[in-house]
């Protein structure tokens, strides 16, 4: 059972000057891991993750770095074969970005896709040690003209568009 969280890890000006950004990395408490191990979570298969989602101030030309984290909350090892990120009209994939090249992003209209971790097995959730394994993708986007844009026009959404359980095991993701 793979679960995805996307969060901003940095913003810098077009001149490369970093802007102050509070940590937005998801937090999973020991209690949330215990609940996942015993099936006491609200959705039975998903650990509760908390992180700030307050809007951040950006300007035209700013480069926003996102981390897309895929957790394996299931009982078997799995593979995330493809991630799709649906870029809103206020963002575009940053050109000539070492981060984007390293993460293997390809562009299709307003969608970008990566197969970076297609061969990287994500270990199943270990109920005994309460260990939740994950892989990270990163993507850099450039903010386009912000005139007349709403928060929604800059809200960036991603999803797992292809995943497989461990090789040789045929199981559907529960959600």
Cα-to-chain-centroid distance, residue 111: 15
Distance CA 23, CA 71 (A): 19
Write down the number of H helices and E strands in the chain. 2, 9
Whole-structure pTM value:
0.87
Per-residue pLDDT of the chain (175 residues; tens, 9 = 90+): 899 999 999 999 999 999 999 999 999 999 989 988 888 766 556 788 888 888 888 999 999 999 999 999 988 999 999 999 999 888 999 999 999 999 999 998 889 999 998 889 999 999 999 999 999 999 999 999 777 777 666 777 888 888 876 555 544 544 4
157-165: strand order across its sheet: 106-108, 111-114, 78-86, 157-165
What is the reported pLDDT for 165?
Answer: 66
Closest C-alpha to 49, from 4, 2, 1, 82: 4
């Amino acid at each position: 059972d793979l679960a995805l969280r996307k969060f901003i890890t940095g913003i810098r000006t077009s001149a490369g000057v970093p802007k102050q950004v509070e940590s937005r990395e998801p937090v999973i408490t020991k209690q949330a891991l215990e609940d996942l191990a015993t099936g006491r979570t609200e959705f039975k298969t998903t650990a509760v993750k908390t992180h700030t989602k307050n809007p951040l101030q950006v300007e035209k030309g700013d480069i926003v770095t996102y981390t897309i984290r895929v957790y394996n909350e299931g009982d078997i090892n799995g593979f995330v074969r493809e991630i799709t990120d649906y870029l809103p009209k206020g963002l575009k994939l940053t050109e000539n970005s070492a981060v984007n090249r390293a993460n293997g992003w390809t562009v299709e209209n307003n969608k970008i896709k990566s197969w970076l971790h297609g061969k990287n097995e994500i270990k199943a959730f270990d109920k005994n040690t309460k260990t939740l394994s994950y892989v990270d993708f990163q993507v850099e986007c450039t903010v386009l003209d912000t005139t007349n844009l709403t928060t929604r026009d800059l809200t960036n959404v991603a999803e797992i568009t292809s995943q497989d359980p461990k090789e040789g095991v045929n199981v559907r993701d529960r959600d």
